Amino acid sequence: MSDGTFDDAFVGDLDRLLRWRRDVRRFRREPLEPHVLPEILEAAELAPSVGNSQPWRWVEVRSGAGRQAVRDSFTRCNTDALRGYAGERARLYSSLKLAGLDDAPVQLAAFCEPDPGQGHGLGRQTAPETLEYSVVTAVSTLWLAARARGVGVGWVSILEPAEVTAALDVPSTWKLVAYLCIGYPARETDTPELERAGWQFRTSAEERLFVR
């Protein structure tokens, strides 16, 4: 609403959007419509940041060499991770598709600039990690904006940050926060894939609320 208030219908739609914001692991290969990525990046820029520093730096990875370097890093890390599981957990892990690197039409790296020109240091003298937290808020905002447009996002965390940073030829001082696969989901569902696979089910909020 123009006055900053929202009706019950909007609140209901927002709650539904939050439920449908899933970590997508399987994508269709068709490209996004040309206007979609600019729109969701513009929405991500509305995210809050410490001192209004906007420390996020987006890198769209289009080159075959860059994508292959990320794919190789994922393969190494995924192989190492599998060694940490045994029995049924190992079987389940092997059945999960942990990246959309082969199919997602868009790959986007989100970095944190540790000394942004904006913000004048406000709010981060005692907690410099708030810069990285700000990048995470931008990623979350992007994710919701994408989902609202029928676009899925998958966060690939099984990577070597230093290797990816070097492969993408960005300043060595930038810190990789997220590597995102973006595209149209191969399957629409509001149930997390890890729940469907039996890896981990959600628990109630009461278990994580403490009062002092």
Chain segment 143-194, per-residue pLDDT in tens: 999 999 999 999 999 999 999 999 999 999 999 999 999 999 998 888 888 8
What would the pLDDT profile of 135-156 be if each residue is shown by its tens digit?
A: 999 999 999 999 999 999 999 9
What would the pLDDT profile of 82-120 be if each residue is shown by its tens digit?
A: 999 999 999 999 888 888 999 999 999 999 999 998 999
Fold of 23-187: NADH Oxidase (3.40.109)
Cβ proximity of 123 and 130 under 8 Å: yes
C-alpha 18/C-alpha 12 separation (Å) is: 10
Chain CA centroid to CA 168, Å: 18
Q: Could you tell me the pTM of the whole model?
A: 0.92
